[in-house]
Structure 1
Amino acid sequence: MNSLPQELVDKIASFLDRRDLGAIVLLSRKLRYAAEYHSGAFAEARLKADSAVIRKFSSIYCGHRSSYLRVIVLDTSVPGVYDENIEYPEQDCRDTEKDVQTMTEAFSQEMSMLFSAISALEKHTHDLGKIHVIIHTPTRCGSTYHPEPEKLFECHIEYRTILDIARRCPNLDTLKCRLGGSEWMGNFKSQTLNESCQDWAGPRRDSRHGFENAVRGIHKALPRLRRVDLDFLFPLEWMEAFPERSTLPNLVHPAPYDPFSSSLRILSHHLRTMHLRVIADDTLFWPTENDNTSTWPNMESMNIMFCNSHPSGLWYISGQPSTTPGYEITPEHYPPLIKTDRDRENDEDDDAIYDWDSGDASHISHTRVFPQEPALTRFLRAFAKAAGSMPKLKDFVFWTPIKVHADDLEENFPALDPLSISRHARSVSIAELAWGIAYTAPGIDFPSRWEKSVDTSVRNLWWKVGDWRPEAELAELFHKIGLEEHRGQMSEHWNDVENQDNGLDYRDIFERWGFEPWSRTFGCLVCGG
């Protein structure tokens, strides 16, 4: 066997199952190499900021095994509030200024240590392929009284951290994240839970505005970046449960536009694929109404899921008409750095506060199905102008999630026939739908469930928007998408109930459009849990 080329030994070993691979690992050096490769035992490494763990990682992968490595998972943690040696009620549940500084320094040190280990590996190996790096956001106990503190939420990181870390990877071609959903927590039946779990509006706004500084020079720092999959609403359930009766913060003021949205637009200019789940305004796609200079020369595919709400606190899709912007953020909207009297009062309610399975922890259902103008049309106009400036565009979906609760409709919208929204609204107690638009260029496949047959030789546009209709100027902007490149007609498809279609459809097709499993994407940096 030793006389055979390694390539042939690898081919022979590829026919063995994992158990048989284990049986040949000690027979010869060539068989060991082949068994290690095909078993996948060295395809993933898990790191944490511990010198012993890093030494072991370096010893394992400093040689031939570096070519097997495909995934590196970085687990991070910061000092927690919880201290089992201190008894209640002396234990504080608030971070002090010193705590915040300590956590920031600890996370920075962890990142430096972990990336130094990866850098050292690159220097000592010549065949290190593309690596999928997963960074889990720091974990810590944020409570004094949770029965299982280790299961509490990850720490929040500022959005700019995603780009700050990405800059450490100049060969990065794909950037992903899953963050932000917990910013919407605060829709429990228990007021104590709402106060204890809320995300403070001040840091939320500052994180969005700070992203603007991080995006400067990003194209020079990441010249190979071609795909982003940035989910700032994960998990989505918190946003969908947020009540309209609660006024949203104005995350834009004092800026004239949302700095976070405009920064994402700058990030997108050289991409080929962009998947976003985000709270955004129209500057996500177009700087101003009169600007005609934005171009996306390489963009081929987009899946944009926008939040029902506008960053200013208005709504794009709501249950009730509303023209009131969000409240202005003041110093009162930042967390106190000491334990307050209200914290002590909430501590007295500990029998219910952390019983996540109790009725107090239940979400209140809310249905938002009505498009709100002029905010929605302005947003759609900016998107259509941007899509019309993408000469290589093959497809897109542009949508927002709609969740229809049968009980909520019956209680709050008694005159509204659920079938006028969707034929699915009466078939289930909670219908997870989507309000959105989809496009395919000539020659691109379409979702077969939407249509029995579609002429794929022309441009196709699906309006999955119920009985809503775009104004003429907006419709014309969508008709121009791909016109210069492909000419010819555009085939439009409507799904309103009046035309015997289903109305708003289930969201799964929108969710899966262009989806790429995280665990199989190489050459990317993933920040988030």
Structure 2
Amino acid sequence: MDNLPQELVERICGFLTPKDLKNTLTISQSFQYASERASGAYTQFDLTEENAQQFHDIYSGRRWAYLRHVRFQTHVPAYDEDEAEGTDEEYFAKHHCRESAEELRIKDERFTEQIKFVFDTLKTLEGNTSEGKLQLTIFAPIREVRGSCPHRKCVSWRLHLLSPDTLPKLGSVRALRIDDPTIILPLEEDKSLLKIDLRVLVDLAMKFPRLEYLGCKLFAGSGWTYYYGREVTKQYARDCDRAGPLRDTRLEFANAMESAELPSTLRQAQLDFLWPLSSAERIAHDEALPNLVEPNVYDPFSNSLRLLASGLRRLELKVVADVSLLWPIDGATSYPNLESVCILLHMSSPTGRWYFDGPQGHGHDAQGLEINDQSYPPLEDSTDDEALDEEADDLGLDTEVIEPKEFRVSPNDELLPPFLAAFAQAASKMPKLKEACLWSPLRWDAPEDFGDVTDVARHTDCPLAWGITYIAPRTLGFHYEGQHYSESRQLFWMTGSWRPRDELRDLFSRIGDQNAELLEYWGLEACGGKEKLPLRDPFDYFQIFDYRNPGSVWPADKSFITYKTLQ
């Protein structure tokens, strides 16, 4: 056995079951190494501050080469009302509901300490062994909140990374994800999911000179509120996503991108700023939304994502964005490497207006709200907080959603066509483009007085969609009634009864090789033909990663990917 070539030993172990691999561990050193690699037992490690020595002991030698995924759950100490009241009653009287600036600073420092711990731990191993090839996933913290009012659980302030320049560079990290670990309902649980400042994505990405993949799954919000029946519940819910911190975190991301020197190796981005999509959908369509753009002419956050996309090969976005997302307001751009792009565009825009109206133009004139000092949570308790808490104590919190108002299923012809034109112009500057998709998830669940929409969609009680997809010749196609492959360019207009004007249609016809024939398809027969909106399934399955590119190395852990955007 000792004389077998290592390549053959590796191949043999590749066919064995985990039980058999336990037996081959002791045959020889060659089989031990090959068995450990084939078992996958050392491919992932959940790092904590308590098991850092164990991590070092396991991976300080040959097993470092087996490691593919390091996960780290950030954490914040629990908040206990009884303990807080006992330490300083005078301070607690001012901050029963609201966190102080000092508390926010301490959370930022604790978060920064944990990120530095992860970097220092990985840097130590890099110094002792050859550089590896792994994904680092950092999870946002979940905080337990005991015995306090709901204000303490509904937090819209962000966690910030302090002094990112002091972090060491890590050549072993080829993929980075920053994710929310799970869905938390703060009005129904004694927990709070703390939000990470979006610029942390940029600050950390610059620390990995060989980064190939950047991903996130974060609730970035847009000032939405569920259609709760009780006003007291709405008031608490609004504190989970106040417009001031939301605008600031988008601006911070944009500011970071202006001076960022991202790794030249970065080729893939999978950025979900609408997680979970169910929260971004189940909102009142007559709700007034904040204007996150003023005083700027365009949305800096959208524009910064365009800068990020310029050198990529694959891009998947779920986002609230404006026309500057892929095409600059004044000028032109190109995407020399981009092969696959899929953008899920939320029906609301950063200005507070909506890309979709209701039947007969219902809701068309909605305007965004100005962001001012009242758009931020106060840093001390107020009489309004006390009154709200008393009302909640007397009446209780009713978190049942009633009287849903989801009626926006018709394109706003003032707002959506310019975005489509920008998308088409950008796609025409992608010489390697194989597939492109721009779509919005829609829903209908409105009172009877909003009208009958059976002329818009056959299945109004199911998740709907509106979108356009391009497929290059000789590329696996859109899931469209047998149209999976063609020698021609294919363009799928899944837009119900809406039709583009000639100028816009001409822009889309310029995508791809002009020498190849263009085939255009309208609607789905199964959903009612050309005049009806499709169900969401075809777009759910059009995700760029995993399903359409099963051989993709990143993300290392694909368990978080679900093809259904709404469960």
The verdict on a shared fold, with TM-score over 0.5 as the criterion, is: yes
Please name the residue that 2:137 is paired with. 134
**Structure 1 residue 39 and structure 2 residue 42: aligned?**
no
Tell me, in whole angstroms, the C-alpha distance in 2 between the residues paired with 1:56 and 1:352.
52
Which residue of 2 is the match for residue 64 of structure 1? 62
Instruction: Give TM-score, length-normalised by structure 2.
Output: 0.82
- Whole-angstrom CA distance in 2 between matches of 1:520 and 1:246: 43
Structure 1 partner of 2:518: 490
**Which residue identity is paired with 1:381?**
A
Q: Using the alignment, how far apart are the partners of 1:140 and 1:479 within structure 2? A: 51
Distance 1:362 1:101 in 2: 38
Q: Relative to structure 1, is the Cα distance of residues 520 and 367 closer, same or farther in structure 2, using a 3 angstrom cutoff? A: farther
Aligned pair in 2 of structure 1 residues 371, 501: CA closer, same or farther (>3 Å)?
Answer: closer
- Tell me the equivalent position of 2:542: 513
Task: Kindly indicate whether the alpha-carbon contact (under 8 Å) linking 1:133 and 1:524 is maintained by their aligned counterparts in 2.
Answer: no
In 1, Cα distance between equivalents of 2:190 and 2:478: 39
Who is 2:163 aligned against?
none
CA contact (8 A) 1:403 1:432 kept: yes
The reply to whether residue 390 of structure 1 matches residue 430 of structure 2 is yes
SS of the aligned residue for 2:204 comes to helix
Cα distance change, pair 26–436 in 1 and its aligned pair in 2 (3 A): same
2:76 to 75, 78, 86: 78
Residue pair 2:142, 2:194 contacting (<8 A) in 1 also: yes
Picking from 360, 365, 374, the partner of 1:332 is 374
CA separation of 1:454 and 1:39: change in aligned 2, threshold 3 A: closer
Which sits farther off after the overlay, 175-184 or 116-125? 175-184
Counterpart of 1:259 in structure 2 is: 300
Deviations 1:246-283 (A, max 9, x none): 21000001111110011111111111111111111101
SS at match of 1:294: coil
Deviations 1:113-168 (A, max 9, x none): 1012112222222262x212111012223562679988734211221111111111
Deviation at 1:333, TM superposition (A): 0.7
> Is 1:344 the equivalent of 2:386?
yes
Residue 235 of structure 1 aligns to which amino acid in structure 2?
A: P
**Secondary structure of residue in 1 paired with 2:507:** helix
Give, in whole Å, the separation in 1 of the partners of 2:478 and 2:17.
Answer: 37
- Displacement of 1:344 in angstroms is 2.6
Q: Using a 3 Å threshold, how does the CA distance of structure 1 residues 98 and 15 change in structure 2: closer, same or farther?
A: same
Matched, 1:456 2:486: yes
Question: Which residue does 1:280 correspond to in 2?
Answer: 321
- Equivalent in the alignment of 2:158: none
In structure 2, give the amino acid aligned to 1:388.
S
1:301 aligns with 2:344: no
CA 404–38 in structure 1, closer or farther in 2 if over 3 Å, else same: same
Match of 1:413 among 444, 447, 450: 450
Q: Is the contact between residue 471 and residue 478 of structure 2 (CA under 8 Å) also seen in structure 1?
A: no
Measured after TM superposition, the shift of residue 403 of structure 1 is: 1.4
DSSP-derived class of the 1:46 partner: strand
Q: Any stretches of 5+ residues in structure 1 without a counterpart?
A: none
Task: Count matched residues.
Answer: 507
8 Å Cα contact 2:69/2:556 also seen in 1: no
Q: How does 1:466-485 map onto structure 2 within 5 Å?
A: 466-482=496-512, 485=513
2:252 corresponds to: 210
Q: 1:151 to 1:298 in 2, by over 3 A?
A: farther
Change (3 A) 1:151 1:114: farther
Q: Does 1:236 align with 2:277?
A: yes
Matching of residue 112 in structure 1 with residue 116 in structure 2 = yes
Quote the Cα distance in structure 2 between the aligned partners of 1:489 and 1:100.
58
- Secondary structure of the residue aligned to 1:492 is strand
* Alpha-carbon distance between aligned partners in 2 of 1:112 and 1:332, rounded to the nearest angstrom: 34
| 3-state SS, counterpart of residue 325 of structure 1 | coil
Deviations 1:11-67 (A, max 9, x none): 33333322232344355443332332222111101113x2x4222211110101111
TM-score, length basis structure 1:
0.88
**2:354: which partner in 1?**
315
Letter in 1 for 2:344: M
Q: Deviations over 1:94-118 (max 9, x none)?
A: 2110011111111111111101211
Residue 411 of structure 1 aligns with an amino acid whose one-letter code is E
2:407 to 367, 370, 375: 367
2:156 maps to what in 1?
none
Cα distance 1:177–1:283, how it changes in 2: closer, same or farther (>3 A)?
same
Q: 1:296 to 1:384 in 2, by over 3 A?
A: same
> Judging changes above 3 Å, is the alpha-carbon distance between structure 1 residues 500 and 383 closer, same or farther for their aligned structure 2 residues?
closer
- Judging changes above 3 Å, is the alpha-carbon distance between structure 1 residues 455 and 176 closer, same or farther for their aligned structure 2 residues? closer
Distance 2:293 2:104 in 1: 25
Measured in 1, the distance between the counterparts of 2:508 and 2:385 equals 52
Show the counterpart of 2:458.
423
How far apart, CA to CA, are the structure 2 residues paired with 1:520 and 1:443?
18
SS in 1 for 2:71: strand
- Describe the shift of the 1:522–1:107 C-alpha distance in structure 2 as closer, same or farther (beyond 3 A): farther
Distance 2:12 2:481 in 1: 47
The structure 1 residue matched to 2:234, chosen from 194, 207, 219, is: 194
Conserved 8 A contact 2:477-2:483: no
The percentage of aligned residue pairs carrying the same residue is: 34
Segments of 5+ residues of structure 2 without an aligned counterpart are 87-91, 154-183, 561-567
Shift of 1:217: 4.1
Range moving further from structure 2, 180-189 or 391-400? 180-189
Moved more, 146-155 or 162-171: 146-155
What do residues 281-331 of structure 1 show as CA deviations (whole Å, max 9, x unaligned)? 10112222x52x311111111101111011101100132232342011001
Contact kept in structure 2, 1:175 and 1:525, CA below 8 Å = no
d(CA) in 1 for partners of 2:352, 2:57: 53
Task: Let me know the Cα RMSD of the aligned residues.
Answer: 3.0
SS of corresponding position for 1:456: coil
For the Cα contact (< 8 Å) 2:220–2:246, is it kept in 1?
Answer: no
Establish whether residue 172 from structure 1 lines up as the match of residue 211 from structure 2.
Answer: yes
Q: Secondary structure in 2 aligned to 1:481?
A: coil
1:161 corresponds to 2:191: no
Could you tell me how far apart the structure 2 residues matched to 1:523 and 1:455 are?
Answer: 26
Task: Specify whether residues 350 and 17 from structure 1 end up closer, same or farther in structure 2 by C-alpha distance, changes over 3 A only.
Answer: farther
Secondary structure of the structure 1 residue equivalent to 2:195: coil
Task: Give the 3-state SS of the residue equivalent to 2:109 in structure 1.
Answer: helix
